[in-house]
Amino acid sequence: MTQLFTIVLAFILLIGPAVSAESEPPQIFSRCANCHTTAAEGQHRNAPPLAGIVGREIAAMPDFKYSEALKAEEGIWTRAKLDAFLQRPNHVMADTKMYFRGIVDAEDRTRLIEWLATADVPSVIPPRSKRRPPEPVTPAKKSASDLFRACKGCHNYAKDAPAKVGPNLWGVVGRPVASFPGFNYSERLRKRGGVWDVERLHIFFTEKKTFGQGVHLPFRMLKEKEDRDTLINFLKSLSHEG
């Protein structure tokens, strides 16, 4: 009895795990479904349909543009050849156009190949993915008060108010750069010259500033033109330009 059990066990290990033919696709097929269908001939996505591939001549679908590497292959897709190819396609065929890293698990490959070899593979076009793409998120439009909040800690903005850490921003639009009375400006700003017009403010709000006096450390760069327009229009309302 023990000897019989040993023989049976050795036979099972030799032939590998038994895989039953099922009409439902194995879970591993989800990794194929974004490019392949199991539909009738002529219905493909980015790659040829897989129905009937076991026993089919390699690169045989007439309406599909195969890579030169596949067209150079001879013979048919046997189970063994599919198993080797699916394990690491780019290693088996360096010039393949198939951007797929492969199926490492031998049982997954066997289950997939045996399912594709059955006569009752459903002739359907499976969904590309069961996961729904996320809904596009439209960023909320920022108000002038939201954008100006970062300025309040360092700047006054009422008419005739004194400077704080930074100069008063009342009347800044149209005012010469580094010209608020009595404020000790950084050398960088004193050398800048010109006036704070709309164009110069757009440039200033997108500059990357190094650490030091006059760097606007708590102020983040305004990358969006819409945000810069909103803030500049608010600053204009604080001056004779408004």
Mean pLDDT of 223-235: 92
Task: Examine the pLDDT at 4 and tell me if it is beyond 70.
Answer: no
Q: pLDDT tens digit string along 198-211?
A: 999 998 888 876 54
Residue 66 pLDDT level (bands cut at 50, 70, 90): confident
Reported as a single tens digit per residue, the pLDDT across 93-151 is: 766 767 677 888 889 889 888 888 875 665 555 555 554 555 566 667 889 998 898 88
30-39, 92-101, 146-155: range with lowest mean pLDDT? 92-101
Alpha helices, DSSP H, located in the chain: 2-15, 68-71, 79-87, 89-92, 106-117, 144-152, 187-190, 198-206, 225-237
CA atoms within 13 A on the CB side of 189: 21
What does the chain come to in residues? 242
Q: Is the pLDDT of residue 197 over 90?
A: yes
Q: Which domains does the chain have, with CATH numbers?
A: 17-117 (1.10.760.10), 144-237 (1.10.760.10)
Phi, psi of 195 (to 5 degrees): -125, 160
Question: pLDDT value at position 190?
Answer: 86
**Which has more pLDDT, 132 or 69?**
69
| Per-residue pLDDT, 241 | 45
pLDDT at position 25 over 70? yes
pLDDT at 5 over 50: no
Residues 165, 180 contacting (CB under 8 angstroms)? no
Give the pLDDT confidence score for residue 218 in this predicted structure. 52
